[in-house]
Structure 1
Amino acid sequence: MSGELPEGIMQFLREAGWGEAVIEPLPGDASFRRYFRIRRGDASAMLMHAPPPHEDPRPFLHVGKWLEQQGLRAPHIHAQQAESGFVLIEDFGDDRMRDWLEQHPAQEMRVYRHAVDALAQLHTRPPGPFAPYDMATYLREVRLFTEWFCPCAGITVDAASHDAAWEEVLTPLLARQQPGVAVLRDYHAENIMLLQPEHPDGGEQGLIDFQDALVGHRAYDLVSLLQDARRDVSPELERAMLAHYASRIDCGEDFAADYARLGAQRNAKIVGIFARLWKRDGKQRYLAMIPRVWEAMERDLAHPDLAPVASWFDANVPPDIRARRGGGLG
């Protein structure tokens, strides 16, 4: 992305009442979105630029408004010009969960418990006016593994049996995600802001990057949080947080199996996405994250209810690739 300011930014800020503000560009992510911190005296705000045609800020505005209505801590919208991709939002500060825990590792259990509490709160709310996380979506996502990782790794696989195995594995959970909950889909330590990190009870946690929300299974965002692609989460912490969630929500006897199903699905998708980010977009840094994601995927595949997909991996992915956890690309 260019370091230049987006066209139209000054006019938007003037119309929003921030015409004399100082603009500070912030590091970007894996998308076309760009972020700027806007300062005016002691006041600050965040400017998101989600430029069409690559981005559309309207889903962010839609989901954010709904989350606020449910009492969850999405950033307040100060001003927006959706057709140009500009959204001026509340500034949640710099204490991103992942970064803060690097400096305060002893607080890990407390901070994760509060993040799980926020999910439990979300899961007591109505599911939200969002599209369903249906089989077509699950399969489209998991095909990223065969469409991107496998060619990058130089292996030819049976794509038809891949889809069939996943459909067999995922079909049982579809009925259990009715009527469903709002699934934020990227609920992890880089997308949670600690608004009061030193608060003894964990303080408020601000939500960002929720524009792709769907209605789906309540295990999905737990997988996002506890099998984080960008941060090591120990199996011990994962088990403790699943137990904490179960103390808040009646999970039912199939929850562990569904958690493994969605863990394997999400992790296979992410491996494909990271391969695509490297191969298509030239973003080398994502390759280093693949082994962490693959390790979690292998744990999920060990669940007996994942046997059809595990058998597909046995038949299609060479042992040396699995042994190095998908590493070695590039």
Structure 2
Amino acid sequence: MQFTRRFSQTQLESFAAELALFARPGMVILLMGDLGSGKSTFARAFIRALGDDPDLEVPSPTFTLVQSYDETRIPVSHADLYRLGSAAELDELGLDDLAKESVLAVEWPEKMLDWPVADRLLVELSGSGAAREASITATGAWAQALARNQAITDFLAGTRWADAKRRFLEGDASFRRYETLHMGSEAAILMDMPARPDGPPVKDGKPYSAIAHLAEDIRAVIAVNTVLLAQGYSAPRAEAFDLTHGFAVMEDLGRSVFGRMLQQGHDMREPMGAAVTVLADMAGRDWPRDVPLDGGTYRVPSYDVEAQLIEVDLLPSWFWPHVKGSEIPQAARQEFEALWTELLPLTQPEKPVWVLRDYHSPNLLWLPEREGLKRVGIIDTQDCLLGHPAYDLASLLQDARVDIDFDFADVLYDRYCALRAAHTHFDHAGFAVAYAILGAQRATKILGIFARLSKRDGKHGYLRHIPRVSRYLERNLAHPRLSGLKRWFDTHLPAARREQP
């Protein structure tokens, strides 16, 4: 991608700040131009946006050659090669390593233009003051970022948020991104969810996402949230959306996230009790399979046995090699699949309800100013399926990222059962079996996901949660109906082995 644009100094700073929204380690920015053309202006605006601090001190690295920042959203290194005598001196600066671990912004990069960098943004600046011109050449991830940023600008131009201040909110383990939009005293969330790229086929010529029924695009979010709002729950309301390109301006439900509140030691009896009440209420309602959406229809898939099996297969495919350093023997894999094939049909209810699949502390917000069921804000609803209500209760009470005390979880479980029994006939024993199976299924899946995130994506921080998830798994395996599965784990992946660092 290559283009030329004219900027004032303010516009150049705004452009650099927007690009910081897409930055990630491994991306390189090369800033060329005469003295006073705006190289340092661009670099400072970029780094301050990464730090979400307009007053962050960003000194010129003219004499230090390289200045690194670890307090920013992701590490960033700022280099100035003006005083470099030869290309050979580049090796002494360690820029190769910095380029892998951080975003690298380089002024006077003429001596490294032949570097084989896949994700490179070359900004050639000229002019000064209010008349800057930038010739921009982008490759790899930077080309994708520039195209996506322009698409966002075009989308917002058709809304009242065209001139809003954009700030990075989060990007998760998936392909979604979120920004906050600020305009005076108002705030909203920009959801950036392009269509999911197909992964490699894993079974019957289909990718994992298709078998597990993961959302393909933003249509799922808009459809599911519309129904949740109509039923009286607090999902984010979409003010504007573009289903083709995958953008939405969503209601900002605040920052009182359950996970953060738990980690900060808040009294969670009322919020968690309210979250349980929401699930009990959802279990008693009729939920549609087909949702009208923008002249078409969005179909909510079923949480069928095929989807559940492909999820638990993540453990032999990723977690077993992570723990044992070798592939799982075929006999052990076949026994594992046979045990799950026997258990999972017990979780297929006669009357399925909407299962959000991510109903846990990172995706729940406390809204005490609202009343009743609306006090619990619900986000990340895109992977909703029709299935057994026990799954979301297990998600809530067996949280993978924060500790939920077992005694507290038992109180909340009993509360849920009492709420269900108060309104209809409730099969306590059958629900307990489904809860144990689905809790074990979810823990098994998550162990595989965390191992995959570490091995495939280099996201090793998720490994710290493995002991917690393993404890949940062990608790579910204690149910008599799961005795065969417990023997398999005790033989091949006992608790002590699973929890090793």
TM-score normalised to structure 2 length: 0.61
1:69 aligns with 2:240: no
Closer/same/farther in 2, CA of residues 37 and 146 from structure 1, 3 Å limit:
same
3-state DSSP of counterpart to 1:27: strand
1:135 aligns with 2:305: yes
Structure with more strand by fraction:
2
3-state DSSP of counterpart to 1:18: coil
Counterpart for residue 279 of structure 1: 455
Counterpart for residue 220 of structure 1: 391
State the number of aligned residues.
321
Sequence identity percentage: 40
2:273–2:412 Cα contact (<8 Å) kept: yes
1:47 to 172, 178, 190: 190
2:336–2:488 Cα contact (<8 Å) kept: yes
1:109 aligns with 2:269: yes
Counterpart for residue 18 of structure 2: none
One-letter amino acid of the structure 2 residue matched with residue 168 of structure 1: E
Counterpart for residue 145 of structure 1: 315
Tell me: higher relative CO, structure 1 or 2? Use CA pairs within 8 A at least 6 residues apart. Answer: 1
**Offset, 1:104:** 4.7
Closer/same/farther in 2, CA of residues 200 and 50 from structure 1, 3 Å limit:
closer
Counterpart for residue 402 of structure 2: 231
Counterpart for residue 354 of structure 2: 182
**What CA distance in whole angstroms lies between the structure 2 residues aligned with 1:236 and 1:34?**
36
**What CA distance in whole angstroms lies between the structure 2 residues aligned with 1:255 and 1:142?**
21
1:18–1:40 Cα contact (<8 Å) kept: yes
One-letter amino acid of the structure 2 residue matched with residue 116 of structure 1: V
3-state DSSP of counterpart to 1:280: helix
Q: What stretches of structure 2 of length at least 5 have no aligned partner?
A: 1-20, 24-144, 198-215, 290-299
Counterpart for residue 247 of structure 1: 418
Mean Cα deviation higher: 143-152 or 223-232: 143-152
Mean Cα deviation higher: 12-21 or 306-315: 306-315
Counterpart for residue 334 of structure 2: 160
3-state DSSP of counterpart to 1:46: strand
**Offset, 1:303:** 0.9
One-letter amino acid of the structure 1 residue matched with residue 269 of structure 2: M
Closer/same/farther in 2, CA of residues 202 and 254 from structure 1, 3 Å limit:
closer
**Offset, 1:112:** 0.6
Counterpart for residue 2 of structure 1: 22
**Offset, 1:171:** 2.4
**What CA distance in whole angstroms lies between the structure 1 residues aligned with 2:278 and 2:314?**
30
1:92 aligns with 2:250: no
**Offset, 1:111:** 1.2
**Offset, 1:234:** 0.6
Counterpart for residue 31 of structure 1: 174
**What CA distance in whole angstroms lies between the structure 2 residues aligned with 1:264 and 1:100?**
26
3-state DSSP of counterpart to 2:182: strand
Counterpart for residue 80 of structure 2: none
CA RMSD of aligned residues (A): 1.9
Q: Any residues of structure 2 matched to 1:242-321 within 5 Å, and which?
A: 242-250=413-421, 251-252=426-427, 253-317=429-493, 319=494
3-state DSSP of counterpart to 1:100: helix
One-letter amino acid of the structure 2 residue matched with residue 2 of structure 1: F
**Per-residue Cα deviation, 1:19-67 (whole angstroms, up to 9, x for no partner):** 1111011122111111001011111110010123446111111111121
**What CA distance in whole angstroms lies between the structure 2 residues aligned with 1:33 and 1:279?**
21
1:21 aligns with 2:164: yes
**Per-residue Cα deviation, 1:121-167 (whole angstroms, up to 9, x for no partner):** 21121133121111111111110111111122224242111110011
2:238–2:250 Cα contact (<8 Å) kept: yes
Counterpart for residue 28 of structure 2: none
Counterpart for residue 280 of structure 2: 120
One-letter amino acid of the structure 2 residue matched with residue 173 of structure 1: T
**What CA distance in whole angstroms lies between the structure 1 residues aligned with 2:387 and 2:340?**
17
2:241 to 66, 80, 104: 80
**What CA distance in whole angstroms lies between the structure 2 residues aligned with 1:93 and 1:167?**
42
**Offset, 1:324:** 4.6
One-letter amino acid of the structure 1 residue matched with residue 318 of structure 2: W
Counterpart for residue 327 of structure 1: 500
Counterpart for residue 210 of structure 1: 381
**What CA distance in whole angstroms lies between the structure 1 residues aligned with 2:356 and 2:235?**
12
**Offset, 1:226:** 0.2
**Offset, 1:232:** 0.3
Counterpart for residue 154 of structure 2: 11
**Per-residue Cα deviation, 1:291-315 (whole angstroms, up to 9, x for no partner):** 1001100111111100121122133
1:22–1:39 Cα contact (<8 Å) kept: yes
Of the two, which has the highest radius of gyration? 2
**What CA distance in whole angstroms lies between the structure 2 residues aligned with 1:167 and 1:69?**
37
1:194–1:203 Cα contact (<8 Å) kept: no
One-letter amino acid of the structure 1 residue matched with residue 192 of structure 2: H
Structure with more helix by fraction:
1
Show structure 1 runs of 4+ deviating over 6 A: 199-203
**What CA distance in whole angstroms lies between the structure 2 residues aligned with 1:59 and 1:235?**
34
2:180–2:190 Cα contact (<8 Å) kept: yes
Counterpart for residue 109 of structure 2: none
3-state DSSP of counterpart to 1:298: helix
2:233–2:374 Cα contact (<8 Å) kept: no
TM-score normalised to structure 1 length: 0.92
1:295–1:325 Cα contact (<8 Å) kept: no
